[in-house]
Each structure stands twice: as structure tokens, then as C-alpha cells.
Amino acid sequence: MTASAPLIRVAAPAKVNLTLHVTGKRDDGYHLLDSLVVFAGVFDRVTVEPADSLSLTVIGPQAIGLGAVPPQDNIVLKAAQALAAATGTTTGAKITLEKALPVAGGIGGGSADAAATLRALMALWDVTLPREALMALATGLGADVPVCLRGRPADMSGIGEQLRDAVPLPGCWLVLVNPGAQLSTPSVFRARSGAFSAAMPLETPPRDLDDLVTGLKTRRNDLTAAAISLAPEVGLCLAALTAQPGCRLSRMSGSGATCWGLFATEYDARTAARALRQQQPGWWIEPAPVLPASADPFALAAEPVLRR
């Protein structure tokens, strides 16, 4: 990086729903949610550098998942355009998105990318917005963008725009598994049936991992059955995770198809990931720590994406 040509890189960590209750539906069709959201230490990355106009290049192992999406329809470019309009910025930026997270996978890949783009461009362009205006801009991009922009464990409600800090959680690891299925969020919500659920946020900090698991087991992801009806592979992922030694709980994240298994230690998570890769070499499988509330997206971007 030089003074004449700064280059800014921001990590876009995977968003993981530990719980997801569908609590209602608004007149405009948006569903109301109650969800405990954390972030995992596996990332996309967004890099920005000065340019006369806005442009986007997508690279990385999961870039193929965006192959059919024209750059102008990518949420990253939409985020850049929205920020420029809101701040009166007339300069451009060359944006590079390194995709390591599955597309349409239920772990906020696109939303995390949009949030990282906003962070990076605010630094590059040296602009700010009042918190309320920034969160309104983020909500306009997508329901998960505000929580990804906030970037720390949160209780999420409303359509995703109502956020508060989650209670402190014990350190733990996840194994994230995606069978290669892309599920659109609207299709999963349309396939959901049954009554709405009550909100059940965690109000008391878990004493330890056992206490966290006990609390999570009394909650659920209300979209799981709908996702399995559209992509039966989701059920296979959950079964494969549950069968791993040391897996304390398995569940789907968001609207799928990515599922997670909860593990006490890095050793247990990496051991399970190796075993799963041998069983299912075509699946996307990544072990990752649950990031603490203090995680810095700029520092995270300097670290390599977790692989093995």
C-alpha cells in the first residue's frame, strides 16, 4: 500500500444462525424473525483501490457460483453505488471480491460481502454516515446486511434490522458443511408451513459450552423442514455432522443449505472436517472458530482463509 495508491482489504466472515424462529409476517410479505447470530472465522474478502469509476471483479474458489450474475446485479456493486449516492461521492473504486463462501448458502455470503464493501469504501473514500442512515442503507440492500455490518454476535429480530448485542458466549468451534445446493431465501420461506413461533432470545449468558448447548436445544431453525423439502441433501449434511465424534449439536444456518456442527475444541472440529472430506469430497467443508465480539474485520482480512 502506498500513499498515492491505497489498497484496503476487509474480511467478510460467514454469518451463522445458531437459532432462527419465524415469528410472523408483515403485510409487505417480509417475515419477522428471532435469531441468535454469530460469525465464523472463514471469510470472503473485499479489496478496494482508487479508480475513476466503479468496477467489480470476482475471483476465488466460489466465484463460479456467481457466474450467471451480471456485475451490475451483484450486491457488492449495489452497496458501492448506494454509499456513493448517500455520501455524494463522485470518485470510483476498483473492487475485487474473493469468494470463498458458498453462494446462496445461508451463511450471509452476499450480505457479508455488501457489509465489507461499505466498510472498505468508507475508509477508502474517507466518508461517514450517521448510524441510523447507515443502517437504513444496509437494510435497503438486504435483511442480513445490518447484522453483517455490525459484525459481532447479535440477537436479531424484525426483518433483520433490529439488533442488540448477544449475551457473552463461550468459545467454541464450528464445522460448516454445504452439499453444493443453492437455495433461494424466498423459495424456502414459501415452502415453510405451520404456525409462527415465539421469540426465544437467550437472556442469560451460558455458564459454559454445556449450558449453551442445552439452551440451543430448546430452540431451533424453523426453516429446516422447508429447506430439506427443496434440497434433501440438507438432511444428509445434518446426519453426517451429528455422526461425528465430538459434535455437540448440528443445525442448518439461515435458509440453507449450509449446516453447522458445534464442537468444543479446534482439534475436534478439524478432525471432524477431515473425516467429512473423506466421506464427501464434493461438499464444501470448513472448520472455523466462532469469532469473539472484538473481532476486527481489517485484521481478519490479513489472515489466510481457513482451509484444513
Q: Flag whether 108 is marked binding.
A: yes
Q: Flag whether 232 is marked binding.
A: no
The closest of 38, 306, 21, 297 to 166, measured between CA atoms, is: 38
Clarify whether 28 is annotated catalytic. no
Q: Flag whether 246 is marked binding.
A: no
Q: In sequence order, what are the residues at sequence separation of 6 or more whose Cβ sits closer than 8 angstroms to the Cβ of residue 123?
A: 8, 10
Q: Flag whether 109 is marked binding.
A: yes
Q: Flag whether 111 is marked binding.
A: yes
Q: Flag whether 282 is marked binding.
A: no
Could you say which of 34, 44, 113, 144 is catalytic? 144
Q: Flag whether 106 is marked binding.
A: yes
Clarify whether 94 is annotated catalytic. no
Contact present, 21 and 34 (Cβ < 8 Å): yes
Q: Flag whether 105 is marked binding.
A: yes
Contact present, 40 and 13 (Cβ < 8 Å): yes
Q: Which three cell numbers stand for residue 236?
A: 444428509
Q: Flag whether 186 is marked binding.
A: no
HSE at residue 253, side-chain half, CA atoms within 13 A, is 27
**What torsion do the CA atoms of 301, 154, 22, 75 make, to the nearest 10 degrees?**
-30
Contact present, 227 and 188 (Cβ < 8 Å): yes
Burial of 67 (0-12, 13-18, 19+ CB in 10 A): exposed
Could you say which of 15, 34, 78, 113 is catalytic? 15
DSSP state string for 163-205: EEEPPP----EEEEEE-S----HHHHHHH--SPPPPP----S-
Contact present, 164 and 46 (Cβ < 8 Å): no
Q: Flag whether 64 is marked binding.
A: no
Task: Show binding-site residues.
Answer: 102-112
Q: Which residues are part of a known binding site for ATP?
A: 102-112
Catalytic residue numbers, as ranges = 15, 144
